[in-house]
Structure 1
Amino acid sequence: MSKQTQIGLGLAAIGRPEYINIKKEEISQSEAVFKANAMHVLDDAYRFGVRYFDVAPSYGKGEQFLIDWHKLRQYPDVNLSTKWGYTYMANWELGYSGKHEIKEHSLSKLQEQWEVSQVLLPELKIYQVHSATLDSGIFTNTEALQELYEIKKKTGMQIGVSTSGANQVEIIETALKVQVEGESLFTSFQVTYNIFEQSTFKILNQLLGDNKTVIIKEALANGRVFENGDFPNYSDAYTYFNLLAKQYNVGIDAIAIRFIIDSLEPQVVLSGALTSIQLQDNLKALSFRLTEAERHQLQIFATESESYWVERSALAWR
């Protein structure tokens, strides 16, 4: 992949009727309408120049939508990534009272989900442990790690981890130590990093310096970068976001994404757009650069990581 940061499309919101976010788009909740929207957004994304697409089995029907689209279009120049370890449980039920996703980092779950995901080959370039944690057992599950190593050797893909939570740095450090048959297993890291959650900045720079792949998710802090009276703690940030948005004639989403590009220069920043209009707005982040003074000011709005994740855990599925 190019060293220049590209904006990719993540299908977390496209593949299921409810997602953790404070901004809600009005869209019919039927599976048929969601699939039609997904196909339309995927087509537009490619037309707009997007070449990186990220999904997971737990994103409702998202992975199947991507499979169907890729079989139909057969674009050879796309880079696809997916994950394993979570199962979608809400079954398209609005207001589902149970856990929408259940984590299981077992060998059997890996084999079950890989059986489906591998149809995305050869454009499938990265296969990730979905939301790896220290207590999920993945880093000590020698059978699952060996299976991932065999997949890596057979396909030539990168094996990666995605991370969430206040201990992302510790998770990444642990993943970096994992070796199978004397070889580092994990070379790709999908990490939450944004204006409000900057705790991973140092280790992400280290990863990039070591030629690892860094993919940034939740660039818009699950919608919290948009002005909202429920978050008075961000009032100063909202004022400055609006100033920059007016100055560059873009939306606040583009400011948030550009901050990541200019401060970190990762390989990919994921857009979580649900519609083509949202995606077009996100892509405006590629049309300008922030000044050093502006980047510094945005860095000041970083919150304490523990508080950020407590706040995120309180957000509802909508």
Structure 2
Amino acid sequence: MSRLGLGLAALGRPAYINVGRADELPDERGVAAMRAATRRVLDAAYAAGIRWVDTARSYGLAEEFLAGWLDGHDDVTVSSKWGYAYVGGWRMDAPRHEVKEHSAERFRTQLAESRALLGDRLSLYQVHSLTDDSPLFRDGPLLAELAQAAADGLRLGFSTSGPRQAETIGRALGLEVEGRPLFSAVQSTWNVLETSAEQALREAHEQGLHVLVKETLANGRLAVDPPEELVALAEIRGVGPDAVALAAALSRPWADTVLIGAVSEPQLHANLAATRITLGEAELAALAGAAVPPARYWAERAALPWA
């Protein structure tokens, strides 16, 4: 349980791309209803032993919801992200829900916003969805500000998205400012469908970075429409396909924190069945057959509707 974390991407805003989410949330997704849903899941996760919560500036009001819950939970590690801004206006049908910008101004603004809500509980601040062609790598003023924040005691990391995650991780691991590595953590997508970053994440772990794994259920697809390899093992093990998918992520020794994105207590407890099973080598080899090319995976993810 100590290796699991709770991600708030699907709880902090009314619309998101996770499938299997709608029936688990209140019919009316106003701010008060979503705040209450977030608190219920946080309480259940904490009671189960989860002590890491991951959020972001672009997750609607997730940081605010979390800040209101943190009192009395002093042993919880909080990570957040900057680089995307939420622009959905709390509308399900917003034409655009988030806008990406990796700039010094965006970093300054969002760090101030995160600190205003989370204060010194902010343990790790990550670049949100870094790609290998990001302007961050050649933005001197931004790199200087990040280095100064790190020198002042803020732990920095980056998350990755897209079919070139491995290339992004490799480039970010080599990023230094005045001879010092800039990042001490990486958060990347890994699941039984999208395994392309595995070697890069193993190398990051070996270099001492804290590795967080996100989208372990492929935005809910592995629970709602799992591949046959996952279904077969779930039936044998007597658990849901979500638990097998999470157990596969937990089987990776380089995965320091495995994030789950449950939006209700039933979803959370179904996910946590993963902690009761250990997959053998033959089972993991069978699951390897579910992997798809990264370009296909990310194209299918991009086609998911915000709902």
Which TM-score applies when normalising by structure 2? Answer: 0.94
CA shift digits 1:57-113 (9 cap, x unpaired)? 10011111111211xx2422111100111100111111222x211001111111111
- Structure 1, unaligned runs of 5 or more: 229-233
Matched residue SS, 1:279? helix
Matched residue SS, 1:293? helix
Contact 2:165 2:197 in 1 (8 A): yes
Report the alpha carbon displacement of residue 178 of structure 1 after superposing the two structures with TM: 1.1
Q: Structure 1 CA distance, aligned partners of 2:224 and 2:63?
A: 32
Which TM-score applies when normalising by structure 1? Answer: 0.91
2:225 is the counterpart of 1:224? no
2:48 is the counterpart of 1:48? yes
Contact 1:263 1:295 in 2 (8 A): no
2:129 maps to: 131
Q: Structure 2 CA distance, aligned partners of 1:207 and 1:136?
A: 19
CA shift digits 1:134-155 (9 cap, x unpaired)? 3431111121122122222212
Contact 2:132 2:164 in 1 (8 A): no
Q: Structure 2 CA distance, aligned partners of 1:81 and 1:47?
A: 19
CA RMSD, 1 decimal: 1.6
CA shift digits 1:226-252 (9 cap, x unpaired)? 354xxxxx7xx33x3223223222211
2:163 is the counterpart of 1:166? yes
Question: What amino acid maps onto 1:53 in structure 2?
Answer: V
2:270 maps to: 281
CA shift digits 1:10-52 (9 cap, x unpaired)? 0000101111123233322111100111112112211111100
Contact 1:14 1:38 in 2 (8 A): yes
Matched residue SS, 2:192? coil
Q: Structure 2 CA distance, aligned partners of 1:102 and 1:88?
A: 7
2:12 is the counterpart of 1:15? yes
2:59 maps to: 59
Report the alpha carbon displacement of residue 208 of structure 1 after superposing the two structures with TM: 1.4
CA shift digits 1:185-232 (9 cap, x unpaired)? 01211000100000011111111122211100100111221354xxxx
2:144 maps to: 146
Query: Of 213, 230, 252, which aligns to 2:241?
Result: 252
Report the alpha carbon displacement of residue 5 of structure 1 after superposing the two structures with TM: 6.2
1:76 maps to: 74
The percentage of counterpart residues that share the same residue type is: 39
2:232 is the counterpart of 1:243? yes
Report the alpha carbon displacement of residue 124 of structure 1 after superposing the two structures with TM: 2.1
2:106 is the counterpart of 1:117? no
The farther-off stretch of 76-85 and 242-251 is: 242-251
The farther-off stretch of 210-219 and 130-139 is: 130-139
Contact 1:9 1:273 in 2 (8 A): yes
The farther-off stretch of 106-115 and 133-142 is: 133-142
Q: Structure 2 CA distance, aligned partners of 1:165 and 1:306?
A: 8
Matched residue SS, 2:85? strand
Question: What amino acid maps onto 2:5 in structure 1?
Answer: G
Q: Structure 1 CA distance, aligned partners of 2:151 and 2:7?
A: 26
Q: Structure 2 CA distance, aligned partners of 1:168 and 1:222?
A: 17
Matched residue SS, 1:189? strand
1:94 maps to: 92
Question: What amino acid maps onto 2:181 in structure 1?
Answer: S
2:303 is the counterpart of 1:314? yes
Report the alpha carbon displacement of residue 130 of structure 1 after superposing the two structures with TM: 0.5
Contact 1:5 1:269 in 2 (8 A): no
Contact 1:104 1:136 in 2 (8 A): no
Q: Structure 2 CA distance, aligned partners of 1:90 and 1:188?
A: 29
Report the alpha carbon displacement of residue 131 of structure 1 after superposing the two structures with TM: 0.6
Matched residue SS, 1:21? coil
